[in-house]
Structure 1
Amino acid sequence: MPFPDETAPVAVLDYRPQWSVDFERLAGVLREALGGHALAVDHVGSTSVPGLAAKDCVDVQVRVGAVDADRQTALLAAIGFRRRPEPWNRTEVSGGQECRKLVFAPPVGARRCNVHLREAGGPNVRFALLFRDYLRADDTARRSWGAFKKRLARSVPDLADYGQIKAPATEVLMGAAELWAAGTGWRVPEA
């Protein structure tokens, strides 16, 4: 759930090249703050896909050797990032496996983002990168997914409701992504 400073109706915007610039800046800040904890910093989610409509919130995935809630939270809190407290921001099921994670909101007043710390090699890391790479590669899927999100946001402006409705549709999309991965030999990019 959003923190009080993050409340706003869901709005899905046309792709903005600024999103990749914003990611690069965030990635530098996170690498510096996390030091050796950050094995890789990936731009994931819809803002990482050129041409895809998205909410104006940059998703960042930090691959770590192990989730260390106390240490990693302290390192990010030192630069103003706030750990999201909900249970779904501590674990997620991916590939039939329960995976630990931590999700952080930006400092108050900073650029909207979600920072996901996930264990390198986990199926949830693969899921995020496959989502991105599939939509980068398939024009029809990218256009259709963007159109779906725009229609959904117009109909369901509440973030929690939007997410609940989008989740099963994402599973359908990822079924197609898995077929694409098998057909192309796609693999998780190196950390």
Structure 2
Amino acid sequence: MTTARIVIQPYDESWPAEFAGVERLLRDALGDAAVRIDHIGSTSVPGLAAKDVIDVQVSVGDLDDPRLVPAFEQLGATSTDIATDHVPPGGDPDPAEWEKRYFRAPASWRPTHLHVRATGRANQRYALLFCDYLRHSRVAAEAYAQVKAALARLRPEDVDAYYAVKDPVCDLVMDAAERWAADVGWSPPAAGS
């Protein structure tokens, strides 16, 4: 078995267009089962260094919607046993707030992570606010990129160590993001913006 190697690369101007292609496929397959489809993660933040993986958040009204699994399977995506997100310190302790579905994109696609989260839950909001804040704060985005690059350089084959450090760093960013959100009256952007 080969171990995935973590590689952080400079921002690639093609990432938004690559997301748009994935979004079209998902929209066609999911129809109105998807309330919104968003480009999340580092590749969604202009200028931010990242792993060359497009993170997609599909927001749905119900994680148990019977249309979801067949629609993803129709695309060639496979369900995994990933069922929850990391809960940040002080986060809502209700497990339902962090529940999700995760699908592996087909091998024929460019590297893509498919996260399915329920609209209005804490984890759905976290992903959207995190990216919006990094788009707002170049200082936070650049510091976050430095942490990811250092982790990839120091432990490139240790995915567990990467996330063991990266998740708490994201929580620190989110602390500032929450203050910013309160100051500006942030709410999730309209779908597709």
Query: Residue 53 in 1 paired to residue 53 in 2?
Result: no
Q: Any gaps of 5 or more consecutive residues in structure 2? A: none
Which residue is 2:131 aligned to? 132
Partner-residue secondary structure (3-state), 2:100: strand
- What is the Cα-based RMSD across aligned positions, in Å? 1.7
Q: Which amino acid aligns with 1:38?
A: A
Q: Which amino acid aligns with 1:123?
A: A
Cα offsets for 1:118-150 (capped at 9, x unmatched): 111111111000000000011111111111111
Shift of 1:184: 1.5
Distance 1:114 1:69 in 2: 20
8 Å CA contact retained: 1:69, 1:102: no
8 Å CA contact retained: 2:48, 2:145: yes
Matched-pair identity in %: 41
8 Å CA contact retained: 1:43, 1:60: yes
Which residue is 2:5 aligned to? 9
TM-score, reference length from structure 2: 0.89
8 Å CA contact retained: 2:75, 2:106: yes
Q: Which amino acid aligns with 2:40?
A: V
Distance 1:42 1:65 in 2: 15
Partner-residue secondary structure (3-state), 2:18: helix
Which residue is 1:175 aligned to? 175
**Larger strand fraction of residues:** 1
Query: Residue 189 in 1 paired to residue 189 in 2?
Result: yes
Q: How many residues are treated as equivalent by the alignment? A: 184
Which residue is 2:161 aligned to? 161
Shift of 1:28: 0.4
Segment of structure 1 superposing worse, 35-44 or 180-189: 180-189
Q: Which amino acid aligns with 2:104?
A: A
1:89-104 pair list within 5 angstroms: 89-92=82-85, 93=87, 95-96=91-92, 97-98=94-95, 99=97, 100-104=99-103
Distance 2:148 2:32 in 1: 36
Q: Any gaps of 5 or more consecutive residues in structure 1? A: none
Distance 2:29 2:125 in 1: 24
Segment of structure 1 superposing worse, 11-20 or 94-103: 94-103
Q: Which amino acid aligns with 2:144?
A: W
